[in-house]
Amino acid sequence: MRIPIALVLASACWAQAEFEVASVKPNTSMDGGTSINRSPGGVFSATNVTLKMLVTFAYDIRPHQLSGGPGWMDSDRYDIVARPSAEDAAAEPKTYSFTEGALDRLHQRVQALLADRFKLVVHSETREMPILALVLAKGGPHLAEAKGPGPSIQGRMGQLTCKKVSMKMFAERTLAQRLGRNVVDRTGLAGDFDFEIKYVEDRGAAATADVSGPDFLTAMQEQLGLKLEPQKGPVQIVIVDRAEKASAN
């Protein structure tokens, strides 16, 4: 039996995870730039985004995991600013280094916002699909147990630095986002780790002959003892049953 996710969340967690105030306005600027931002205190803002983008963020899925819904979900654009209550904001992290719990609460608040303002109703199905599995490379892992605060994931050109990050978070958050694929942790490694990957960015046709070094996945295998393998596994599919255009306010 399929169960609408929105209904489950309404009874299970919306009372603890809602925005107190939210502004939702259609964006007709025809600007090509989009952004979705989270700020200390649980503030959520999105500029020039479609409902499809908002649903994939709220349910922490990739675009290929979303099905159904009206065509305007991928064309109409919106600007959103939403804030939790002062009491809820005081309990949120004061820095941009979000914990898993804080990110889960933000996702729940955005889910509640979409159900309220877009009348969104969805249900979830699990399908066997191709995935990427994070596994140990030959020789085993080269990882140091976490010693400081976190979690923190910081990226810059040619370098990724992770502090107090689990393999599950690294697979499902960092690698999945970077590759646009479903990635699961099958390393068998428990606990949190501090690690760094140094690599050469793929610059395509702009690359110069004097730039050498491993790409990201090669560097991950050489420096961390981790690699990705194509496998099949259960993948959550979110199916839109109902959605309405939000009015400006």
Quote the tokens at residue 89: 């904001």
Amino acid symbol at 247: S
Name the residue with higher pLDDT: 129 or 90.
129
pLDDT tier, 203 (very low <50, low <70, confident <90, very high otherwise): low
**Distance between CA atoms of residues 115 and 6, nearest Å:** 7
Residues 68 and 167 in one domain: no
Instruction: Assess if residue 248 is contained within a domain.
Output: no
Instruction: Assess if residue 103 is contained within a domain.
Output: yes
Taking the model in full, what pTM does it have? Answer: 0.75
Residues 161 and 75 in one domain: no
Mean pLDDT of 10-34: 76
Mean pLDDT of 29-57: 91
The reported pLDDT for the residue numbered 247 is 74
Mean pLDDT of 99-103: 71
- Identify the domain containing residue 226 by its residue range: 129-202+209-233
Instruction: Assess if residue 70 is contained within a domain.
Output: yes
Residues 87 and 168 in one domain: no
Asked, as a colleague might, if the bond just before 4 is cis with ω within 30 of 0, I would say no
Instruction: Assess if residue 197 is contained within a domain.
Output: yes
Amino acid symbol at 192: D
Question: Could you read off the pLDDT of 224-237 as tens digits, one per residue?
Answer: 999 999 999 999 99
What are the residues facing 24 on neighbouring strands?
Answer: 80
The reported pLDDT for the residue numbered 202 is 73
The reported pLDDT for the residue numbered 12 is 40
Instruction: Assess if residue 247 is contained within a domain.
Output: no
